[in-house]
Amino acid sequence: MIATGDFACHEEAWLALPWLANGRLSQTERDKIEPHVRQCSACKEELAFQRLICDSLTAPDRVTYAPGPSFRKLMDRIDGTAPRPQKTGERSKVPASPGRAPNRGKVSPWRPPGLAWAAASFALVIGFVGVLSTVYRSSELLYTTHTDTARATPNILHIAFDRSLTIGEAEEALRSTGARIVEGPDSTGVIGIRPVASGAGDATSAGDRREMRVLSARLRADPRVRWVEPILGGDSPGERRAPLSRGQ
Amino acid sequence: MKGTHHNDSPSPAEPNYRTGSSVAREVELIARIAEGDRKAFEELYGLYHRRLARFLTRLTKRYDVAEEVINDTFYIVWRKAGAFRGDSQPSTWILGIAYRKARNAFRSSSRILALENPDAPLPPLTSDESLRTEELRDWLVHALVQLPVEQRLAVELCYELGYSCEEISTIMGCPVNTVKTRLFHARAKLQKLLPALGGATPADERDRKGSREKGKS
């Protein structure tokens, strides 16, 4: 049985053990409880357990956290270039001018509300004009051919493969779709091709045009082909189509 | 988080924040931050980032949440540096802000708790001594998750970050006795989980229980 004085000492020591383990107990407190801990098996065992926890939690980490990326995010937030994360139920506490030096208890200078309204109205008008202009331009035919048709060989398909494709893979892709190279590739990687089945001259017959359309469709279905553009001879506006990029 | 490395930025060595010189340095940095000195802010951020990232990632198990709490903390440091009067140590002041932010993050977000499964069995420890520390730490992380948030934070502040009882009381904004009580309950719960961890024999468990009863009484 523990005597009353011992009991009080044991209880005090027991509560102080975490700080005896982490080394933050003052010398006075240590002088008070260490004699008890030395002779109390329960406290000794508990202290060993506490030290085990300390050692485990302070052991070198397997992960290092460099502050650079996080700091840049924070500075973006302070400079107001990134939206402040919105949390549920949280009212905005962002200062009127977040990029300024820290507020040292000064009251923000008063600004006339009329100025804010004028700025907001101006921004609204500019935005509206921008939207109108975009809508107008969208209604126009924006597509213009990537190739100078005046200088290009007529009645061929111009295509471009994904840049990651090797020459061998490109040749294999063309062979498998029934195409042959008739010009290029040029400095931008554009190749002029025709169906293998078409004649050596210009593909002007209806059959040749059909072959071109079939070849064009096959190539557009190939994920490795980034872009296909038919270059047609003569006036055949109905045949001209916008080139297809991947994903279209 | 294991194996995550972000090494594209210089990371100042973590100081021994208990020395007088490092405290004086941090006080000076805070004074410069109050004047809008971004270099000083970056230096202070670097001094605390690793410490807080480790502490918070262990609590949340998610670096993105930890990073959010750190940046919320330092956003306050940037804005309120002028209000720091040196009544407490800089680390106590900063950890106090981080503690409140972390607690709010826990309370407002069920996402963290949803990740945890308190009923998941603890893995047994290996007998290999070289792996034991690593495994013990994993086990402790697992066990800490099962503690209430306030107790968990108290454990981390005491055992990992090495704060005194008075400093923890300042950081947590509660009386010293509350800190002691929180740690007492946390320790009791961790002790309960110990047999499952160490593969202790029933006799060991009985002895341990007896010791703990003595401590409680």
The H-assigned helical ranges of B35-164 are 38-60, 63-80, 90-108, 110-115, 129-144, 149-155
User: Above 70 in pLDDT, residue B68?
Assistant: yes
Residue A6 has pLDDT above 60, yes or no: yes
Rounded to a whole number of angstroms, the distance between the first and last alpha carbons of chain A is 85
Query: For A16-20, B54-58, B75-79, B160-164, which range has the lowest pLDDT when averaged over its residues?
Result: B54-58
pLDDT band at A247 (very low <50, low <70, confident <90, very high): very low
Residue A166 has what pLDDT?
Answer: 73
Every domain range in chain B assigned CATH 1.10.10.10: 126-198
Smallest Cα distance from A19 to chain B, Å: 6
Nearest CA in chain A to B18: A24
> Does residue B147 have a pLDDT over 80?
yes
Q: How far, in Å, CA of A96 to CA of A76, rounded? A: 16
pLDDT for res B44: 94
Contacts of B23 (CB under 8 A, 6+ apart): B17, B89, B90, B91
Q: Cβ distance B102 to B69 under 8 Å?
A: yes
pLDDT over threshold 90, residue A58: no
C-alpha–C-alpha distance, residues A232 and A145, integer Å:
11
Numbered ranges of CATH 3.30.70 in chain A: 156-239
Q: What is the pLDDT of residues B6-61, one digit of tens each?
A: 333 333 333 344 556 788 899 999 999 999 999 999 999 999 998 888 888 877 77
* Burial of residue B167 (number of CB atoms within 10 Å: 0-12, 13-18, 19+): buried
Question: Is 50 exceeded by the pLDDT of residue B144?
Answer: yes
B126-198 carries CATH number 1.10.10.10? yes
Of residues B88, B69, B75, B66, the one with CA closest to residue B44:
B75
In this structure, the number of other CB atoms found within 10 A of the CB of residue A158 comes to 22
**Where in chain B is CATH 1.10.1740.10?**
14-117
CB < 8 Å to A55, chain B: 133
pLDDT at B135 over 90: no
If one compares A4 and B101, the residue with the highest pLDDT of the two is B101
CATH 3.10.20.740 for the B14-117 domain, yes or no: no
Query: CA B184, CA B204: separation in Å to the nearest integer?
Result: 21
> Which pairs count as long-range contacts for A99-104, CB under 8 Å and 24+ apart, including other chains?
A100/B36, A101/B34, A101/B35, A101/B36, A102/B33, A102/B34, A102/B36, A102/B78, A102/B79, A102/B80, A102/B81, A102/B82, A103/B79, A103/B80, A103/B82, A104/B34, A104/B82, A104/B83
Q: What are phi and psi of A48, to 5 degrees?
A: -60, -40
Rounded CA-CA distance A239/B12 in Å is 65
Which residues in chain B have Cβ-Cβ distances shorter than 8 Å to A67? 9, 11, 45-46, 49-50, 53
pLDDT at residue number A202: 53
The DSSP H or E segment spanning A159 is: strand A156-161
Rounded CA separation B209/B214 (Å): 9
Contacts of A4 in chain B (CB under 8 A): none
Mean pLDDT of all residues in chain A? Answer: 71
- Region for residue B33 given its phi and psi (left: phi exceeds 0; alpha: psi -120 to 50; beta: otherwise): alpha
B135: number of Cβ within 10 Å: 16
Which pLDDT score, from 0 to 100, does residue B65 have? 84
Location of structure tokens 């008008």 = A125
Buried-state track A52-71, b at ≥16 Cβ within 10 A, e below 16: bbbebbeeeeeeebbbbebb
Handedness of CA A45, A47, A48, A53 (dihedral sign): positive
Residue A124 has pLDDT above 70, yes or no: yes
* Contact call for residues A196 and A180 (beta carbons, < 8 A): yes
Single-letter residue type at B65: V
Q: What percent of chain A has pLDDT over 70?
A: 62
**Which B residues 125-144 touch A at CB under 8 Å?**
133-134, 136-137, 140
A 10 A CB-CB count for B83 gives 14
pLDDT band at A237 (very low <50, low <70, confident <90, very high): very low
Of the candidates A24, A70, A78, which has its C-beta nearest B70's C-beta? A70
* Average of per-residue pLDDT across A111-121: 67
Tell me the two tokens of residue B139. Answer: 């086990």
Q: Which of B21, B18, B92, B11 is nearest to B47 (CA)?
A: B11
pLDDT at B34: 94
Q: Please tell me which of A82-86, A207-211, B182-186 the model is most confident about, judged by mean pLDDT.
A: B182-186
- Over range A49-62, report the average pLDDT: 81
Highest mean pLDDT of the ranges A94-98, A205-209, B172-176: B172-176
pLDDT number for residue B182: 93
Chain A CB within 8 Å of residue B81 CB = yes
Asked if pLDDT for residue B62 goes beyond 50, the answer is yes
- Main-chain phi, psi angles of B207, to 5 degrees: -60, -45
**B181 pLDDT band (50/70/90 cuts)?**
very high
Q: What burial class does residue A189 get, using C-beta atoms within 10 Å of its C-beta: 0-12 exposed, 13-18 middle, 19+ buried?
A: middle
User: Are residues A104 and B82, on separate chains, in Cβ contact within 8 Å?
Assistant: yes
Q: Which of A42, A66, A89 sits opposite B9 (nearest CB)?
A: A66
CB of B95 less than 8 A from some CB of A: no
Q: Which stretch of A114-118, A163-167, B97-101 has the lowest confidence by average pLDDT?
A: A114-118
CB-based contact B164 A7, cutoff 8 Å: no
- pLDDT tier at A105 (50, 70, 90 boundaries)? very low
| Closest chain B C-alpha to A111 CA, distance in angstroms | 21
pLDDT of residue B31: 94
**Lookup: tokens for A38:** 């030395």
Q: Is B85 on the interface with A (CB under 8 A)?
A: no
CATH 3.30.70 fits A156-239, yes or no: yes
Q: Is the pLDDT of residue A95 over 50?
A: no
Q: How much of chain B, in percent, has pLDDT values that exceed 90?
A: 35
